[in-house]
Chain A
Amino acid sequence: MKKILSKMSFYALISVLIIYTIAPFLWLVISSFKPQQELLSVPPLLPVNPTLDNYRSVFELLPFGQFLLNSAIVATVTTTLCLVIGALGAYALARLNFWWKSLALMSVLSISMFPQIATVTPLFVMIRKSGIFNTYWALIIPYATFALPLTLWILTSFFQKIPQELERAALIDGLSRFEILRKIYIPLAGPALATTGIMVFIACWNEFLFALCFTSSELARTVPVGITLYEGQYHQPWGEVSAASVLVSIPLVCLMFFFQRRILSGLTAGAVKQ
């Protein structure tokens, strides 16, 4: 009896958690099927005349597919770049002995301490001067930088957990440091790379301010900026915004379902067991 009760309360807790996290999102989903007139009045909660108009106009009014593609490209390239740079750096931080290690760590971490909005103006000047304005690179490079602290932190702590003797064995077996990183650390750190990758990917997917300032045409704009383009001067297009939000979330939700197991193992210590 007691067991059943505790089980029931456990499932109740889970249900509360799920409601807390997905109820607001569910509201977006419901709204995305409401026609314009019903959007701003509750009750009723559910659409009386459900419609796909919002979804249609998301694609008809703006090249939303292009925004999705841009976001996907920017996020993917950033993630790859960030992982490459991060893995190199994390290897040095985890395994090499040099006196300026804490200095390097501190300067990496300090990226997360300076208000990002204050970097927009100087970055803009640099991006202009280097001629990458309104290209994917204008977003990729800043994104990769701002994602570095977390990447380096996770990868470094994961690399530190890889037994040092493996590296010593490989050194004796005749591998160079770089080959050790490529042939031993990277394959073993697969889960950590997946986790960090997801985190970086989501951060890029969500970013707005840089995307607004460093791109100027539909060829390079990402989804968050794209969604704000539906707004009128006075008008908030809730229908389109909610439909677009649902569309943006679907690929990421799929990604999550696919990766959630790996995300956790990536952060877990002792993942390298012989």
Chain B
Amino acid sequence: MYKLIQILCFALCLVASVHAQEPVEIIFSQGKTLGAQREALFQLFKDFEKENPNIRVSVRELPNATDKQHQYYLTSLGGGARDIDLMVIDVIWVSEFAHANWLAPFHLTKEEKSKFLPATIKSCTYKDKMVALPWYIDAGLMYYRADLLKKYDIPIPKTWTWQQMQQAYEKIVPEEKKANPNSPLEYGFICQGRHYEGLVCAFLEILRGCGGEVVRDGKVVINDEKGLAALQKIHDLIHKQKIIPTVINNFDEEESRMRFLNGKSLFLRNWPYVWSFVENPNFNLKGKIGVSPSPHLVNEKPSATLGGWQLAVSSYSRYPKEAAKLARFLASARAQKQLALYLSRNPTLLGLYNDKDVLQKNPFFRSLKPVFLQAEPRPVTHLYPQISHVLQREISLLITNQKTPQQVANDAAQEIDAIFHPKAKSTQDFAIPVFYTMAGLFSFILLLMVFKGSFKENITALTYLAPAMIIIFFVAILPLLYALFLSFYQVEIANIMHPQRWMASGLDNFARIFSDPHFTHALINTLAITIVAVTLQLILGIIIAVTLSRSFLGRGPIRALILLPWILPTIVAGKMWLWIFATEGGIANYFLMSLGWDKINWIDPGPAFVSIIIAEVWKTTPFMAILLLAGLTNISKDLYKSAKVDGASSWYTFVHITLPLLRPAILLALLFRTMDSLRIFDVVYAMTAYAESTKTLSIYIHEKIGAGDLSYASALSLVTFAIIFAISLVYLSLLGKKMESSQ
């Protein structure tokens, strides 16, 4: 196998050396584009190649989901990948990546800078250096139902205050219902409220519109007087005035857009892309919908959260000059105009908002300009990912009314403060003594392996297990050791390739775990999911196994059908269940309602837990059933015959013969299922992502890695490992006992 790899490497080198004679190839990495958009974009690359014959552009396309791209860049750039030259990054990653020294600076003259929207320049600047070029911009907007407002004679202001909206809401919704009982209109204002980054964007606008702020001049201000008042106001809007429904904790951009376009709500906070639906003749919405800056309190100003994508050159790039050239080309007025025309992307260049062609194609841009001019970035710091996680969690708790505004303010402030000012670290270096101990232990075991007992037998065993041992060493043991070392240091993802910059921190990371309420919470969630899911799997597994062990017509195909959930990729299965459990339009609620029950908001803490259990049980029961079915076929048929002769009922036979004899199979299935379930990730990630109510240990670790806190993530992984190890030992000792007694 390794020979093959060598050959492969050799072949790669050959290919590379041939290419060296030809134009340099720049790898441009971005989210996937489809259809006509893709053609327009690729036309730009062709133009660029024509003008620069010595450069060739090759495009690497990533999944569009922002967090998946983030994961990809963290692993790639963290690992020092040299095969990304130019990348398109989210505005909130700029500081983080720049702090990690992953971005090569751009040198723009003052005049060049002045052509861009000021907020975009601000968000691309890190420590007074431009580290990216703004490519296209997004900012939060509010859409409103112009038709209904007109119908009820409500004047449309330039910017909306919450008070005005409240009046409109209280007037229109009941009257619409009265006039037409089937009217879908239900909500006042909806926005993105699911536990993800979109929530922070929407929340920041509302908070700022109420006069609050999270971080100002490097200081946490969410819990000062103004911040607290703003939070209280938001709480009232949701729980007292009810203009914002709690159901928003189910919504991402698309779900909120669809609710709004289906007439569920008067107001919608969303990004500019929604306008393309308004203008789409298929939807027949022209003139029915208006757009304005986001709502605010009477004495405050509207706010728009800045989103958008930047062109950044990787500092690991082999061709930084050529990459920068491509970046400048793509950010140029000419290219941005093309993108505005064909992809409806909002340019970052001020001038294009006055361009005739652009305005003709996108008349809507005229109203966007003032919003973009006011757009405010999210806190510009490389620590933003960690801050975002805190905000997501706390706001979710505010929406579901699990915390008071005061608690939210205090907890958020305290945690964000801790992110800015980490505690003084112990500098005791455990890694080196641990390294020597480990190395000693390993060589000792290795020596013993060969020389203890029968030499020949040991050597034979060693040769047979060698391939397994080698890949286990590289793929499993090394990462474990690596995690062990990381956990003794304070390592950010930026320093991962530079051990000389690691700071020893003794056992601080472990100490932190035991005082971390989120860890305890995640542990309890994980254990709860494991216990409930595995128990259900066991019960269902036994039922399926016992049923299928009988012979009946069509047993073969039915056995195969029962295995179906097992073969659906987990990520797809998770999405499928997410869709089934969608609050509206989801088939689960459809059935509940057709049975005369109330629909359930499946993202609420309780139902979310249930929905994850359902999905997890559905996905993995077949595996359990297979192992148990095999155990059943092991039981001698004579025993059943004799039980029948002895006059035992089938239930008695099941309890006193089947179950005891099935015990080894049950234990084995439980062992593997428990180990997997304690590490549950895919299903939860696909369904509720980082939501607090279903956050498991693996999700928590992933969150910490995503936030760049590798050391803590490593310590968490090790503690998780220890917990699973301990639980497995219990199973193993039970299994061992069983085996001994049966022999």
Contacts and interface: CB of A to CB of B under 8 A. Distances in A.
**Chains A and B directly touch (beta carbon < 8 Å):** yes
Interface of A: 10-11, 13-14, 17-18, 20-22, 24-25, 27-28, 40-43, 45, 61-62, 81, 84-86, 88-89, 91-93, 96-101, 103-104, 107-126, 128, 130-133, 135, 137, 141-142, 144-146, 148-150, 152-153, 177, 199, 202, 205-206, 208-209, 212-213, 216-218, 223-225, 227-236, 238, 241-242, 244-245, 248-249, 252-253, 256-257, 260-261, 263-270
10 closest A-B pairs by CB? A267-B630, A118-B717, A92-B464, A234-B253, A145-B475, A119-B479, A89-B468, A252-B567, A113-B724, A228-B63
A232 B496 CA distance: 31
A113 B675 contact: yes
B565 to A, nearest CB: 6
Contacts of B714: 118
A101 B34 CA distance: 54
A228 B68 contact: yes
Nearest to B577: A24
Contacts of B728: 109, 113
Contact of A117 (B453, B587, B698): B698
B207 interface: no
A24 B618 contact: yes
B46 interface: no
Interface residues of B, number: 131
A231 B569 contact: no
A168 B119 CA distance: 80
A22 B561 CA distance: 7
A94 to B, nearest CB: 10
Interface in B713-727: 713-714, 716-717, 720-721, 724-725
A28 B576 CA distance: 7
B475 A141 contact: yes
Given A109-B732, A115-B697, A253-B560, 13 more contacts: A10-B547, A14-B547, A21-B621, A86-B468, A99-B453, A113-B724, A122-B482, A132-B9, A137-B5, A216-B76, A234-B273, A242-B576, A267-B630
Given A14-B558, A115-B720, A119-B476, A249 B564 contact: yes
Interface in B229-275: 252-254, 257-258, 271, 273
Given A21-B622, A122-B482, A144 B471 contact: yes
A132 B458 CA distance: 33
Contacts of A86: 468
A264 B35 contact: no
Contacts of A17: 543-544, 547, 562
A88 B233 CA distance: 67
B705 interface: yes
B40 interface: no
6 contacts: A21-B622, A98-B454, A99-B453, A126-B474, A224-B570, A270-B634
A124 B630 contact: no
Nearest to A37: B282
Contact of A89 (B458, B465, B562): B465
A208 B574 CA distance: 12
Interface string B576-605: 110110100111001000000000000000
Nearest to B549: A264
B653 to A, nearest CB: 14
B585 A21 contact: no
B347 to A, nearest CB: 17
Contact of B564 (A10, A110, A253): A253
B521 interface: no
B469 to A, nearest CB: 7
Nearest to B65: A231
Contact of B5 (A130, A212, A223, A236): A130
B476 A115 contact: no
A256 B468 contact: no
A217 B475 contact: no
A257 B566 contact: no
Nearest to A11: B552
A132 B68 contact: no
Given A123-B479, A212-B68, A135 B8 contact: yes
Interface stretch (B165-173, B397-405, B676-684): B676-684
B550 A10 contact: yes
B215 interface: no
Contact of B475 (A103, A115, A146): A146
B469 A234 contact: no
Contact of A107 (B457, B477, B668, B720): B477
Contacts of A253: 560, 564, 567
Nearest to A40: B585
